[in-house]
Structure 1
Amino acid sequence: MEIEGRDFMNTPPLKTVRFGGNVVATLAKFKQDAQIINWLQEFRNCVTQLSKDHEQLIYVALRLPWLGRSPAVVEEYLAFLSNLVSAQTVYLRACLKMVVSNFIPKRVKICEGGVDISDSDDDDENLPRSFDQCHQALQLIGRYVPSTSRFLVPILIENFPFVQKSSRTLECYVHNLLRVAVYIPSLRRDVLELIISRMLKLDVSAPRGEIEEVEENAVQQEMKGEQEEEGLFDMDEDVCSVKSSPAGTNVMVHPVAERLDTLMVVLLAFIKDMCHVNGCLDVERTKDLYKDLVCVFDKLILPTHASCHVQYALFYLCSFRLALAEAFLEHLWRLLQSLSHPAVLRQSAAGYMGSFLARANFLPVATVRACLDLLVPWLHLYIASQDSGSRAYCDITLHGPFYNACQAVFYTLIFRHRSILEGDMKKGLAYLQGLNLERIVMCQLNPLKVCLPAVTNMFAAITRKYQLVFCYTIIERNNRHVLPVVRSSVGGDCVSTNTNPLDSFFPFDPYMLKRSSKLIEPLYQVWEEPADTITTKRVRQCSDADEDDFLRGETPETKGVMGMTPGSYESHLHSPSSVGSPPISFLQRPF
Structure 2
Amino acid sequence: MDMEMEEEKPGMSVEQKADVKPEVKEEKTVAQVIDSFKWGTITGQLKYKQLCRALGQLKMWKEDMRVEFLHGFLDLASKFDASCLDMVRALCDVDWLYIPKSQLSPFLAMLTDACIFNPVFVDSVLKSCVRNLSPPIEFQANEKGEVTAICLLQDAELELLYLKAMDCIEMIVKRLPPAVFSLSSAILKHKPHRTAPLEKMIAHVRLIIVMADKYPQISEELFGALINGLLQMDGIVSQYSGVDIARNSASLFLTADVEDKYDEEGYKMKIKEKLDVCMTMLLCYVGLGSENPIVKPNDTPHTKFLESYEPPKGIFNRLLPILETHILYCHEMDNVPFLWFYMASYSRENLMKLMRVFWRVMTTPTQRPNEFKKAHNAAAFLSGILARANFVNYQVMCFWLKQMANWCLRYIDKAGQVKRPGGHQHGTFYAIVQAFLFVICFRYKEFVDNKQIDELRLWGLGRIVHCQLEPLNYIATPLAKCFASVSRYMQIVYCSHIINLSDNGPLECYFPFLKSGLFQMADLIQPLLRDFNPAEDDFDTSAAIAPQTQIETQDDDEFDFMPMEIGADSGLLTC
Same fold (TM over 0.5): yes
Task: Find 1:12's aligned residue among 16, 30, 37.
Answer: 37
**C-alpha distance in 2, partners of 1:274/1:57?**
47
Kindly report which structure 2 residues correspond to 1:71-470, keeping only aligned pairs within 5 A, or say none. Answer: 72-113=102-143, 119-121=149-151, 124-125=154-155, 126-209=157-240, 254-273=269-288, 288-340=314-366, 342-387=371-416, 389=417, 391-422=418-449, 424-425=450-451, 428-470=452-494
Cα distance between partner residues in 2 of 1:356 and 1:194 = 25
Q: How many residues end up aligned between the 2 structures?
A: 491
Q: Offset at 1:394?
A: 2.5
Match of 1:533 among 533, 539, 547: 539
Partner amino acid, structure 2, of 1:331:
V
Query: 2:160 and 2:91 mapped to 1: Cα distance?
Result: 21
> Which secondary structure state, in structure 1, belongs to the residue aligned with residue 333 of structure 2?
coil
Q: CA deviation at 1:380?
A: 0.9
Equivalent-residue separation in structure 1 for 2:166 and 2:284 (angstroms): 19
Gaps of 5+ in 2: 1-25, 242-253, 297-309, 542-561
- Which of 508, 511, 514 is equivalent to 2:513? 508
SS at match of 2:326: helix
Identity %: 20
Q: Deviations over 1:13-70 (max 9, x none)?
A: 9979xxxx96556666597888767776754533221124434443443344545978
Contact residue 203 and residue 307 of structure 1 kept, 8 A: yes
* Mapped contact 1:355–1:506 kept (Cα < 8 A): yes
Please list the CA deviations of residues 381-413 of structure 1 after superposition, one character each: whole Å capped at 9, or x if unmatched.
1111223x4x24421111111111111111111
Measure, in 2, the Cα distance between the counterparts of 1:168 and 1:520.
24
Q: Deviation per CA, 1:448-486, whole angstroms, max 9, x where unpaired?
A: 1111122112212221111111122223xx34xxx34xx
SS at match of 1:108: strand
Inter-partner Cα distance in structure 2 for 1:139 and 1:367:
45
Of structures 1 and 2, the one scoring higher in RCO (CA 8 A, sep 6+) is: 1
Question: C-alpha deviations, 1:126-165, integer Å up to 9, x for none?
Answer: 3333333322222122122211122122222221111122
CA offsets, 1:264-283, max 9 Å, x none?
Answer: 1122122123778999xxxx
Change beyond 3 A, Cα 1:322–1:80:
same
Contact kept, 8 Å, 1:160 with 1:173, in 2: the verdict is: yes
Code of the aligned partner of 2:424: T
Say yes or no: does 1:520 pair with 2:529: no
**How do residues 442-591 of structure 1 correspond to structure 2 at under 5 angstroms?**
442-475=466-499, 478-479=500-501, 483-484=502-503, 501-528=506-533, 532-535=538-541, 536-543=562-569, 549-550=572-573
In structure 2, relative to structure 1, the CA distance for the partners of 1:180 and 1:35 (3 Å cut) is: farther
Identify if the C-alpha distance between structure 1 residues 4 and 201 changes in structure 2 by more than 3 Å, giving closer, same or farther.
closer
Q: Which amino acid aligns with 1:142?
A: V
Q: 1:254 to 1:26 in 2, by over 3 A?
A: closer
In the other structure, the counterpart of 1:576 is none
Larger radius of gyration: 2
**In 2, Cα distance between equivalents of 1:255 and 1:69:** 33
CA shift for structure 1 position 198: 0.7
Which sections of structure 1, spanning at least 5 residues, go unmatched? 222-245, 485-497, 553-591
What do you get for the CA RMSD once the two structures are aligned?
Answer: 3.9
Letter in 2 for 1:347: H
Rounded to whole Å, the distance in 1 between the matches of 2:334 and 2:465 is: 30
Counterpart in 1 of 2:300? none
The answer (yes or no) to whether the contact 2:445–2:533 under 8 Å persists in 1 is: no
Query: Which amino acid counterpart does residue 493 of structure 2 have in structure 1?
Result: V
Deviation at 1:115, TM superposition (A): 8.2
What is the alpha-carbon distance in structure 2 between the residues aligned to residue 350 and residue 505 of structure 1?
9
Q: 1:399-452, CA deviations, whole angstroms, 9 ceiling, x for partnerless residues?
A: 111111111111111122223443x42xx1222122121111111111111111
Q: Which one-letter code corresponds to 1:110 in the other structure?
A: Q
Q: Within 2, Cα distance between the matches of 1:213 and 1:252? A: 21
Alignment of 1:50 with 2:80, yes or no, is yes
Distance 2:232 2:54 in 1: 45
Contact 2:237 2:268 in 1 (8 A): no
Contact 2:29 2:72 in 1 (8 A): no
CA–CA distance in 1 between the matches of 2:256 and 2:486? 31
- Give CA deviations for 1:239-271 in whole Å, capped at 9, x if unaligned: xxxxxxx99xxx997333233222211221221
Contact 2:442 / 2:573 at 8 angstroms: preserved in 1? no
Paired residue for 1:238? none
Closer, same or farther in 2 for the Cα pair 1:318/1:439, shift >3 Å? same
After TM superposition, the score normalised by the length of structure 2 is 0.75
Match of 1:110, SS? strand
SS of residue in 2 equivalent to 1:45: coil
The one-letter code of the counterpart of 2:445 is R
- For residues 543-562 of structure 1, the C-alpha deviation after alignment (integer angstroms, 9 at most, x for no partner) is 46xx7x5478xxxxxxxxxx
Provide the TM-score with structure 1 as the length reference: 0.73
Letter in 2 for 1:515: Q
Cα distance in 2 for residues equivalent to 1:214 and 1:519: 21
CA contact (8 A) 2:276 2:520 kept: yes
Distance 2:30 2:485 in 1: 93
Cα 1:287/1:524, change in 2 over 3 Å: farther
Contact 1:40 1:80 in 2 (8 A): no
Which letter maps to 1:314?
Answer: W
State the alpha-carbon separation in 2 of the partners of residues 39 and 83 from structure 1: 20
Flag the 1:255–1:107 CA change in 2: closer, same or farther, 3 A.
closer
- C-alpha distance in 1, partners of 2:457/2:152? 61
Cα distance in 2 for residues equivalent to 1:12 and 1:468 = 89
- 8 Å CA contact 1:215–1:252 kept in 2: the answer is no
Q: Secondary structure of the residue that 1:302 maps to in structure 2?
A: helix
Q: Which whole-Å CA distance do the structure 1 matches of 2:320 and 2:270 have between them?
A: 29
